[in-house]
Structures are given as structure tokens and as C-alpha cells.
Structure 1
């Protein structure tokens, strides 16, 4: 009996069908071991000289049961093959399995697609675990824990602002978002005018200050951008008076064609998908988050429909390229290129992998749609179209530029026509055609209208999730397997929020990044993090010893940087020391503020406190000033706003509904909240005094039909508050009956 060890149980059925009798397929359910949480700062490893002594422990009770089951399967097997995922993480998981299952030199097999040919070819050509890949995986684990655990404990937690963690990739990514937010906040909008003329000959031209001036033609949109072409504009005119002068000349002076420039050009097809470009395209076209994209792609991979979805290589196998060529010759012969199109990956790509592609080009999206879910079918269609497009002929374009003149002014019109669709039949990333009329040089033109549109410069946009993935890849931050988890962590830590599809740093995220930029500036810079990724690549290539690298990096940079940061962090944390004792009480340190008391309108005082009940290190009080009313306010660390105690908060009258609380009869209020990055709304009791006990189960959620429904109270009716207050139990039974 042969035993094949894999990661995901979702692949067992497919692989068992391929391998047939004489084989048993078992899943490790992902990682089975991890670094222990012991030793200095719970790192689970010690740095001794130029050696790293790691202590590993079984990850969970479930992992312990999985290991026991796998040991029994190993005892019954004649030969054991480890077929964890074909990347560094998969190699490291295989190494952990070998240790826990006491396998001396197990066979290691890898495949990037779950098809009979690929799996059997891998089984026929086994190898042993790659020590260099395992070393790179172990180095990454230790490096991430070293930065995450020590940085979080000695820097982040010391701030006492509610931040929970920092991380090697996490903090560098947050810094990119905060840098863009700072640009947006510093942006000063400027008014300008776009001047134009509309000709009776059937086209529109825009003002150019110089006959030889050539604005850059609009670039083709990338994966994370919408294909809609932005409206053309003239050279910016910075005053109303100048715009009026230009328009007056345009209306007064005759117009004539000065020059017509025509040229033919071609647009090459884009390469097939890698992890980052798949996430970008799925976000732009399907509105899927990176995390959701990878879950759907995982299902397609496990079902044998696509190749492995965590890759940064754009290369395709010769067999697949030949299959696409055959497919095109049968179905689209005019799109067969003269020679096979090949792409060169960037320097740090893992060339052992292929790009993301369908396992069989003959399995079209239409044929597969009946076998998979709607989201899986849509994502597969993107992957199939992109892979086929990459092997097609270039698109042919005819571009035209008309330059006209009126008095001393010059006007320009641009047109673009696709003369041969080529690859765009499958992947259209070329803007809509703009046809210009057939006119001749020196031809007189008739100005129908002339005008100037007032506009305002816009700040740089915030990043969408797919756009951030693109930026992370370009900056060299992280690797394909880390893009999605990093963004997910930033949202879970409440360092960023998703607002109208864009990632915006919260007050907490901005404050944390501001401190890290002062005390650990190198660690959050993209170039610094990218250098660490290149070092891990060198370890994977066998060019660098992982233990020497990690101990040297800690000795030469991180340890002294952390010591310095621990000293500097004190300036960001208010000193809470007792002053001279007065009687039996210690005078507490206070500071004056300009926060106005919501009750008596006097300025409140900041009172520093070590109370473990506080999420910050202080609160505001109105009792330390003459005539103060005694009101206190606490800092909400998520919003960085001061709030009254929960029981004293008054409901916002604009958020009150006409529905009564089924428990106490008070009006229900609309409450907006964020879950998994999505803005949601619910109805809850508006009485803060009962909301946490008597009415804590009162929660109504919006259904697809637009009604309000509660798991306990059923569908929300429209009784009067008086009735609801008198008969809450009866209403509860009625609601429960309806929900059934």
C-alpha cells in the first residue's frame, strides 16, 4: 500500500480517483506543528551565536488527532509520498510531517495541477525534501515571530492606545496606506478650466498651448482599474479670465486643420495570471476581495480545473501552449500567432511554478458552468480568457491626431480605432473606440460651440484591496501567499476600514504608524522589507545560511533598534507618577485640555490613571475645575473620540425608528457597524441602561426583502410603543410563530 500525504481534505476524492487501488490519500489539514510559545518573549526559539535553536509543538488538539491517525496510516504503508503544496510553505509543512511521523527520507512529489497526467508524472519522478526551501520557510517563521512578538510586546503594547500587534509585512503595508492618507490630508485642491471647441464636422477638440505639445496618451488600465476611459481634457487653464479669453478667441477667429497625424500600432497580449494579477482582476471585474478570490480559486484547484493559484511566475508549460494553439486553429484561426508567445518572469519569481491557467483549454467556461458555483464559474472564465488571450495575436490599432488652429490658439483631437481585435476577443483591456471624421490638412472647420468647464484637482485616491495587492507586489512586500492574509489582518486589527470599496486607515492605524515611523523607521519602509524578502529568496536558492542570516540580522539591526525604540517610546506614553502625598491620598497627575464638557460646557481635565478597566491611560473629568459638574468621558480607542459612560449616552434622535423595543417598549434605533470589512446596519434598543442586560438580545437585521428580522423575535411588526410595552411576551410568541 502506498500512502500520499497532502494538506487539504478537499483533494482526497480527486486524487484517490486518479491513483486508484493500492493507494491511500490522507490530509494533514494544513500545518501540524508550530514554534512553541515559550522562552524569551514566547518566541519558541533561542538565538545562540550564529545558531537558531527552535522548539516546535503540535499546533492544536485537532492536529494531535490528525498526527495519531497519520501515524497509523504510515505504519500500514509500504511507501510514503509527501505531496503538500508546491511552494516553500508546503515544503516546510512536509518537513514537519516527516519529523512528527518519524519518516527518515520520505519521497517528495509536487504538481501544479490535479490531473491524471500531472499527478502520475510527479509520482514517477519523486525527490527528497528540499533543505533550502525548508530553511527559507523556517527562516520566515522565525523572522515573522521575532518582529511580531517582540515589536508588539515592547513597542505596540507599551503605547496603550488599543493597538494589538505589529508585523514585518503587516506594518510595512499599513505604512503604504498611511502615506497615501497623509498625501490626501495634505492635498490642497485647485480650480482649473478645461477649454474645448465642438466642430460642425463631427468632432470635439481641446485646447493646447503649443502646436508641438503632446500630452501622454492615456495608458491602458491595469487589472485593478475600471476600463471606462476618462473624459479627455485640455491643457489646464488656471483662471476664469484666461478661460474666458480663450473661449472668446475660439468663437471669434476662423478654424483650420493644421496637421493630421496617423499611425498604426499594435498592442501585445497581457501575460497569464499570477496571484496578484488574479486578485486585481477579480476585484475590478467581479468585486471579490483578495481573501474571497483565493478561497474560490482554491476550490477550482482542488477540483482539478486550474493550476496552483499561489505563484508569481508568468510562464506556461509547452504542453499547454501547444494545446491553446491547437484550440485556436480549430476555433479562431486568424488569432494564431506566427510563433508561440513566451513571457519572462521577474527576477525573484519561482520559475518552477507555472502561471495560473486552466488545466484543459478545451474545458471552456460555458462547459464548466454547469459543474461549479456561480462565483467559481465567473473566476474560471477570467482565468480561461486570460490564458487563451496570452497566446493570441496582438491587437492592431489605428491612431489619429488632428491639430487645428484658431488665431493664436491650437486645438487637439485624438481618435483610436481597433482594426484587428486579436487577443481582445478574449481579454479586452483597450478603451472604447473614438472615431474621427475623414478630413484633410488645411481644411476649414466650422465652430459650432466653444466653452470651458470649471473643474477642481482631486487628491490621490485611496487604494482598493486589489490596488493594494498590486502595490505590494510592485514594492516587493510579501509574497503571493501573504497578500490576502495581510490585508485581512489589518482589517481585523481595526487599523484600516473598508469605506466605499477603498481602504482607509483608522485613527488607531494612523497613530500606530506615526509612532513606528519615529521609533522603527527602517522596519516599515518598503525597500527594507523587500530586501528581507530577497534574502529569504537567497536562502531558498542555497546562497545564504538561514541561521547565520537570522542571528546576524537580529544582532546587527533588530536588537539594537528595539532597545532604542523602547527608550524612545516613553515620550509617546504620558508619565503617570504620583506627586507628593497629601494626607492619605496621592495627588494624581493631570493636564488641562480644550475638550468641552457636554453637560456644563466648561473645559475638562485629563486625569492619568493605571486602572486596568481603562483602555487608555487616562480619562477626562469635569470635577477638577471650579464649578465642574463631575462629568467624566472615556477615550474610544477605535475612533479616538471621547465618549460619555455607556449608561449616560443619549440616543441620537435622527437614528430612532418608529418601532418599539419588544422587551421594554423604548424606540428601536438604527446602529451601523462593520463586520468583515463590510458596513452593516441593525435595529437595537435605544435605552443604554437596559441594552446590556434586559434588552441585550434585541437585535433586528435587514433581510433581502427589505424587512427587519430577529433570530429571537422574528419579523418586526408595527405595533405602537404602548402596546409593545404592555405585552412583550405575547408579541414575542407571535413573532416566534411567524419566524417558524
Structure 2
């Protein structure tokens, strides 16, 4: 007979924990939050110390009734929500809703869902931590005040349906600032001179380095001509060879931020997808005879700390699988680097390093397997020896100039045997081998290649870059990155083109108004300071009501000024050349979540809308009558289809090329990867690189 009730957030977590605890425990799921602020009103009594008026979330009444009934049949109720601020708040809300005594030891937390960790956690339950609860309440109320006070003002002065958020607004501002940088960027010319040289049947490249003993910038063609004149007719002679060994150290185990960044780079996952799949791995996967097992530790963390037990297990694995020489002299420890990192939990790691990815592959989905493999490899590599690389730097004298060739090779792979961190540019570090060279060697000149280049503007933000920037600036915390990026897209403030963020006209309009009347909301330092204050509330060193009061004092004055001085902006729809096929009135351009679309000017009498068709200049490969046009799915993803739809149902996620396959004549598509853009035949195995002018057109 069960004498204890355990409440967790999800059925999957309930299933896993139930198997570990046995028949004396009933484990049920609250399905997330059960209470929240009402949607229909602000729900905060500002004059009464920001007292929140919580209500039962619509649809959760039956869940609460089931939990209440179950709680009355047992002697003890344990609240086992996730081990973070939000989980603590869920536990507190449950305690109030079920009329439990929250001063009793009813709270149970564990960083990993394994049999031992769960059983150990139930040996030492604790009281609900009100500092954590108040930190979460303060964040929720702070965001509610900003959203529910500024949004109606934007509806009234700008456009109905607009909304403003605290962290989200800063994220949009960062994206908009980058776009302004790109617009204002003035390319600068520069040149390079590469010499293709040979010795004993080996070819290698060297680049111009110095002239007349000094570094010389090649800013114009005249600079290049000066160098070419100086080396004309001269021999290429090796003047100096420098060899040295350098170490390359492994990356720290994953935090929430670094996991989102690396999953974006290596797996192409959006931040929200990464967190969703990680949640599944954390809550438990059925592993055949082994039963349901939580495969990773808790995935919302800013810590790179690893337990001694996990390190010992990693040491055992590395020693047996790769050899003693792949172990570092002492176990690796990583310090926290992120602004405001709390170090509350361990880094994200496998619950057992001995459970290799291939052992779980048959029991997991493709996405679960790929993410688990990434986490496993990152953790194991973080506990391995450094890699050793032999580097060679060769100076080559030619006339009064010096060219330099640099090469390296891995002499001992160390951690690189398992994993190498990606980067935001998508480039890979490849070994550049040089032939055996020594001072005095005379080299054969095969080619001198001067090339003109232009500096490039700073890149637009990918999800990985934006998450990294938010973390470095101290904006948001591990649990906020994914929902922040989702929100700014849902509100139509940013759009994604080729996996990069661009501000929409709507986003720019809102940020302009916010900058004028609520500059502190968009101020990075102010927002980071607010995050610090919330952390102090969590630590118990700040009073949450005081933090809110200090913020609201100046915020309220800003609201009054904005109400008086913000001018009403009339957004005039741009009239298109197209007529509505339903009523004959002109179609106008409207701005929606995924950019511009066409709508009938006769709205609301006529509600006809249609997407703006972008002709990519390729004939339909299926019907050979229509043209291929760019469209967007309901979720905003770009795809390509025939403009004769529905007569022709041709559709492709990849951009078709106008160039037929030279081998079989079938149509080809553009495929993007880290090395650039390639054309791939849809019928045979033929692939080819895009020519430079084709690639520019593709961009």
C-alpha cells in the first residue's frame, strides 16, 4: 500500500522515477505549472508590495483535483519538480494549491534521474527554498510589469497587437544594432600575394610577409606592384626554419548556453529543439532490459563543475578504451566563466560515461541519439589529455622581400581522438603539411598569385552567436535563452534568412519607440544589473520587493512621459500593383510574423490574403511550364514550389538550380554545408562546387 505521493512535472519523469521508488510511492505529474498570473489583467497589486494574484491555469483544474484526491490518501507528499528557480516555484504553487505545509521537508531535488541519485535525494528532503521562489516571482512580476504596461501604450500609439518584453527587447536591439553596423559598413580594399613553390616533388604555398625588413600592408595595387618588382627574377631561398610543439586543450563540459551553440553548429538544431530533446534525455529513455534511464544530468545550468564520481568513471573509460597516455596528469577542473554564473548544478554530462552512444542508439530517436552522442563526446573529451601539435614556420627570402609558410601536424591527438569543438564560422582546422625544409634550400617558383580582397561586414547573428552574446553580456539565464529566441520570432520582430537573424520593419519600429521612451529597458548594462539583482534575491542577500520597487520607481515616471509625449504613428499600407481576385480591390503589403504578405485593402469586408511570390529564375523541373518561386511554410520556413500550384504540385526544401546535371540531365539543387554551396543532382551522385559568380547570385 502506497503511503507517499511524489509530484513531478511530466509523465515521462513520473514513469522513470516511479520505477526507482517502488510500490510505497505513487508518482504523478502536474503537467508543468498549475498556477500563474491571469492573462486578462496585470494581476499584480503594485501598491501592495507587488502582491501577485495567482489563479489556477485554465485546463489544470482536473489535474489539481486528481492531485488533491491522491494527497488525501497518503501520509506524505513530496514535491520533486526540476532543481532550478522555476522548479522551486512550481513546488511552492503546488504546496499552496494542495494546502500542504510548505515549512515541512517536502521538497526533493536531484541533478540526474538515475536510481542511486533519486534514492539518495529521498533520504534528505528539505523545505521549499523561498529565496529561489522569490527570485522566480520577481522575474515573473518584472516581466509582467514591462509587458502589460508598455504593450497597451504601443497598441494605442503605434499598432494594435504589438507587445514589449524585457529580455526579448534587448535581444531584438542587439540584432538591430548589428544590422545597422552592416548597413554602415564601408569595405576596405586589401591584397595578398601567394607564391606556389616546390622542392623535391613537393608543392606548398607561402604568403608575402615583409619588404625591406619591415611589415608592409598591401592596401592598393601599387603596393603589390612594388613587391612584385622587388622579387622579379630573384630566387626563393629558405632563410629561417622554426619548429615548436604546442598544446591544444579540450573544451569544458557543456553548459546550457554552450550546448545550444554547439548543437546549432554541428546538428543544425534550433535552441528550442535542443532543450526539448535534452529534456527527453534527462527525464528518461526506455533501454530494453535496463528499463527507463535518465541519460544526462539536468540541462539548465551555467556550471562547468563535474563531480568526483563522474570524473572517476570517465577516467576508467578513457584508460580502458584509449589507453593510459590519453589521461591528463591530474583530473581536469573547469572554472565558471559566464557573467553571473551561479554554479548551482553540475555541467551537462552523461549520467554514466560507460554508457556509450552506440549502446543506446537502437532505443533512441535520431535526434535523441545525435544530441546524446554530442554530450557524451564533449564530456569524455573534457577529461582527456591535451593534444600535441608540431608547428613549422618557414621564412623564405626573395630579393628584398620575405614570404612565410606555416604548417602543423598532430603528433598526439589526445582529446581530439574523441571530439573537437566547432566554431561560428563553420570552418575546420586542417593540418597543412610542409615538406622537410632547412635554411639555404633553394625553391622552385611555380606561380605568383596576387589577389584583390575587400573586408567583410560583421556577420548577422545565428542562434548560436546570439546565445553566446547574450551569455557574455549577462542577459538572461540558462532557462531563458530558448524561449527568448522563440518569442522574438513569434512576435514578428525578427525573421530568419539562411539561419541568420534579421530585424523586421515591425521590430525596428517598436525598438525605435522603446529607445526614445524606455532606454533603460534596452540598456545592456541595466538589464545585466537586473539579472544580478535577481541572483542576489536567489542567494538571500536582496529583498525581492525592494528590487521591484527600485525598478518601478523610475519605470512609472517613464510610462507617464510616454503616455503624454509618444506620438501616434499612422502605419500606411503600401499599395501593390495586384488586384484582389475575390473583390477586385487593390492588394496592399502587410507585415506579419514571417515578413511581408499581400492582403486585400477591402478588409474586413474581404479577408483575402496571399504570400508575396519571389521568382528565383528557374523553370519548373516537373511540369516544364511554370516557374519555381520561393514560398514560406506556416512555420516560416522557406521552400520552393511551382507557381502553377495546384495544377502542378512540385515542391522542394532545397533551392533548385537552373543548371542541369552534366551527367544525366536531371535538375540539381543547392546544398549548403560548412565548406560553402554545392550543386547536387537529384537523380545521380553528381556534385560540383558553385562557380564564384553563381555563389554570389545564390547569396
TM-score normalised by length of structure 2: 0.82
Q: 1:675 aligns with which of 634, 643, 650?
A: 634
Partner secondary structure for residue 566 of structure 2 = helix
- 2:259 pairs with 1:278: yes
- CA offset digits 1:16-40 (Å, max 9, x no partner): 11001111001110011001246xx
- Matched with 1:702 is 651
Q: Deviations over 1:547-595 (max 9, x none)?
A: 111012101x21112222333421x625xxxxxxxxxxxxxxxxxxxxx
Q: Given the superposition, is the C-alpha separation of residues 140 and 651 from structure 1 closer, same or farther in structure 2, using an over 3 Å criterion?
A: closer
Larger deviation, residues 424-433 vs 164-173: 424-433
In the alignment, which residue of structure 2 is the partner of 1:301?
282
Instruction: Write the distance in 2 (CA, Å) between the matches of 1:650 and 1:59.
Output: 36
The residue that corresponds to 1:520 in the other structure is 518
Post-superposition offset of 1:294: 1.0
The answer (yes or no) to whether the contact 1:197–1:250 under 8 Å persists in 2 is: no
1:323 maps to 2:313: yes
- Post-superposition CA distance 1:185-218 (Å, at most 9, x none): 111223332111121123211112368879xxxx
Task: Name the CA distance, whole Å, in 2 between partners of 1:393 and 1:211.
Answer: 43
Alignment-derived partner of residue 44 in structure 1: 43
- Once the two structures are TM-superposed, the CA of residue 241 in structure 1 deviates from its matched residue by 3.0
SS of the equivalent of 2:50 reads strand
Unmatched segments (≥5 aa) in structure 2: 285-293, 422-427, 578-583, 603-607, 657-699
Take 2:188 and 2:316, find their aligned partners in 1: how far apart are those partners?
56
The alpha-carbon deviation at position 256 of structure 1 amounts to: 2.4
Counterparts of 2:184 and 2:79, CA distance in 1? 54
Map 1:434-513 onto structure 2 (within 5 A): 434-513=432-511
| Change in CA separation of 1:496 and 1:73 when aligned onto 2, cut-off 3 Å | same
Q: Match for residue 94 of structure 2?
A: 97
Cα separation, 1, equivalents of 2:354 and 2:420: 21
Q: Report Cα offsets for 1:303-337 as digits up to 9, x if no partner.
A: 11111111111111111011111112222222111
- 1:349 Cα offset (Å): 2.4
Residues 544/453 of structure 1: CA separation in 2 closer, same or farther (3 Å cut): same
- 8 Å Cα contact 1:161-1:508 kept in structure 2: no
CA–CA distance in structure 2, aligned partners of residues 191 and 411 of structure 1: 21
1:85 is the counterpart of 2:82: yes
Distance 1:46 1:109 in 2: 32
Q: For structure 1, which runs of at least 5 residues remain unmatched after alignment?
A: 215-234, 575-615, 623-629, 660-665, 687-696, 708-740
Q: CA deviation at 1:617?
A: 5.6
Partner residue, 2:682:
none
Of residues 237-246 and 396-405 in structure 1, the stretch that sits farther from structure 2 once superposed is: 237-246
Provide the aligned C-alpha RMSD in A.
3.2
1:208 and 2:206 are equivalent in the alignment: no
- Note if contact 1:306-1:358 (Cα within 8 Å) is conserved in structure 2: yes
| Residue aligning to 2:532 | 534
Of 162, 165, 172, the residue aligned with 1:164 is 162
What pairs with 1:223-372 in structure 2 (closer than 5 Å)?
Answer: 237-303=218-284, 304-332=294-322, 333-346=324-337, 348-372=340-364
CA distance in 2 between counterparts of 1:419 and 1:65 reads: 64
CA contact (8 A) 1:3 1:24 kept: yes
Change in CA separation of 1:378 and 1:236 when aligned onto 2, cut-off 3 Å: farther
Q: Deviations over 1:73-118 (max 9, x none)?
A: 1001111111000000000011000000000135101001110100
Q: Which residue of 1 aligns with 2:569?
A: 573
Q: How many residues align?
A: 615
Q: What pairs up with 1:372-451 in 2 under 5 angstroms?
A: 372-429=364-421, 431-451=429-449
Of residues 449-458 and 249-258 in structure 1, the stretch that sits farther from structure 2 once superposed is 249-258
Alignment check: 8 A CA contact 1:175 1:525 kept: no
Match of 1:76 in 2: 73
Structure 2 match to 1:194:
192
Q: Structure 1 residues 210, 314: closer, same or farther in 2, change over 3 A?
A: farther
Query: Structure 1: how far apart are the matches of 2:159 and 2:9?
Result: 39
Is the contact between residue 247 and residue 451 of structure 1 (CA under 8 Å) also seen in structure 2? no
Higher alpha-carbon deviation: 136-145 or 243-252: 243-252
Match of 1:225 in 2: none
Q: In the TM superposition, what whole-angstrom CA distance separates every residue of 1:439-492 from its partner, at most 9, and x where no partner exists?
A: 222433332211212222221111111221111111111111111111111111
How far did 1:128 drift? 0.6
Query: Which stretch has the larger CA shift, 394-403 or 171-180?
Result: 394-403
| Distance change (3 Å), C-alpha of 1:648 and 1:421 | closer
Secondary structure at the residue paired with 1:48? coil
Q: Distance in 2 between matches of 1:19 and 1:408?
A: 79
Pair 453,617 (structure 1): closer, same or farther in 2 beyond 3 Å: closer
Contact 2:598 2:612 in 1 (8 A): no
Q: 2:590 aligns to what?
A: 636
Greater Cα radius of gyration, structure 1 or 2 = 1
Q: Does the 8 A contact of 1:272 with 1:314 survive in 2? A: yes
Identify the residue that residue 125 of structure 2 maps to in structure 1.
126
8 Å CA contact 1:507, 1:640 repeated in 2: no
Equivalent residue number for residue 559 of structure 2: 562
**Distance in 2 between the 1:412 and 1:280 partners?**
35
| Mapped partners of 2:256, 2:465: distance in 1 | 13
Alpha-carbon separation, structure 2, partners of 1:640 and 1:327: 54
> What is the match of residue 220 of structure 1?
none
Aligned residues of 2:255 and 2:301 also touching (Cα < 8 A) = yes
Q: How many Å separate the matches in 2 of 1:212 and 1:66?
A: 79
Do the aligned residues in 1 keep the contact of 2:597 with 2:610 (CA within 8 Å)?
Answer: no
The offset of 1:546, in angstroms, is 0.1
Query: How big is the shift at 1:262?
Result: 2.1
Compared CA separation, residues 275 and 180, structure 1 to 2 (3 A): same
Greater CA deviation, 423-432 or 306-315? Answer: 423-432
Greater mean alpha carbon deviation, residues 127-136 or residues 512-521: 512-521
In structure 1, the partner of 2:150 is 151
Matched residue, 1:595:
none
Q: Determine the C-alpha separation between the residues in 1 that align with 2:442 and 2:628.
A: 67
Distance 1:101 1:458 in 2: 60
Residue deviations 1:125-175 (CA, integer Å, cap 9, x gap): 110100100010100000011111112111x32343466211111000011
1:360-400 CA deviation, whole Å, 9 max, x = no partner?
11110011111101111111110000000111111112222
| Corresponding residue of 2:695 | none
**CA deviations over 1:625-670 (Å, ceiling 9, x no partner):** xxxxx996745234579987477999979699999xxxxxx99995
Paired residue secondary structure (1:76): coil
Q: Which residue of 2 aligns with 1:115?
A: 114
Q: Distance in 2 between matches of 1:490 and 1:650?
A: 21
**252-261 vs 492-501, which moves further:** 252-261
On the 8 A contact 2:231/2:398 being kept in 1, the answer is: yes
Take 1:158 and 1:275, find their aligned partners in 2: how far apart are those partners? 39
The aligned residue for residue 19 of structure 2 is 17
CA distance in 2, matches of 1:427, 1:120: 33
